[in-house]
């Protein structure tokens, strides 16, 4: 079994520091590359800490690069890039729902 096969069995958890430097826990729900680009993206959701006011379906997108064991995350600030990522995510999500439906 490869590492990629295992990622469906056990959620991948990453820690992202907030603006105050506190690390917040996120679960990676999807990783993908956009066609025609060598950039990689991941979609993450916050792991609740029991805060009932938190949005349950809040999804965040980041561009990422892997350097050995290091993971570098970049926020997507370009509107055109964001639209492309959002469209790809929605397409992949609907394909997954079709497969499970």
pTM, two decimal places: 0.74
29, β-bridge pairs = none
- Complete DSSP assignment for 61-100: EEEEEEETTEEEEEE---HHHHHHHHHHHHHHHHHHHHHH
The number of beta carbons lying within 10 Å of the beta carbon of residue 20 is: 5
What's the token pair of residue 85?
A: 């990522």
pLDDT of residue 5: 45
Per-residue pLDDT of the chain (101 residues; tens, 9 = 90+): 444 444 456 789 999 888 898 999 999 999 998 877 789 999 999 997 655 555 557 889 999 998 888 889 999 999 999 999 999 999 988 988 888 76
Residue 99 CA to residue 63 CA, distance in Å, equals 26
């Amino acid at each position: 079994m490869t590492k990629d096969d295992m990622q469906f069995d056990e959620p991948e958890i990453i820690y992202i520091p907030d603006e105050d430097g506190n690390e917040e826990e996120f679960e990676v729900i999807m990783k993908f590359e956009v066609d025609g680009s060598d950039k990689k993206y991941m979609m993450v959701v916050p792991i609740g800490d029991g805060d009932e006011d938190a949005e349950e379906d809040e999804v965040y997108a980041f561009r990422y690069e892997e350097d050995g064991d290091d993971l570098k995350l970049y926020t997507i600030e370009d509107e055109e890039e964001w639209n492309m990522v959002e469209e790809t995510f929605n397409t992949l999500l609907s394909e997954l729902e079709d497969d499970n439906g």
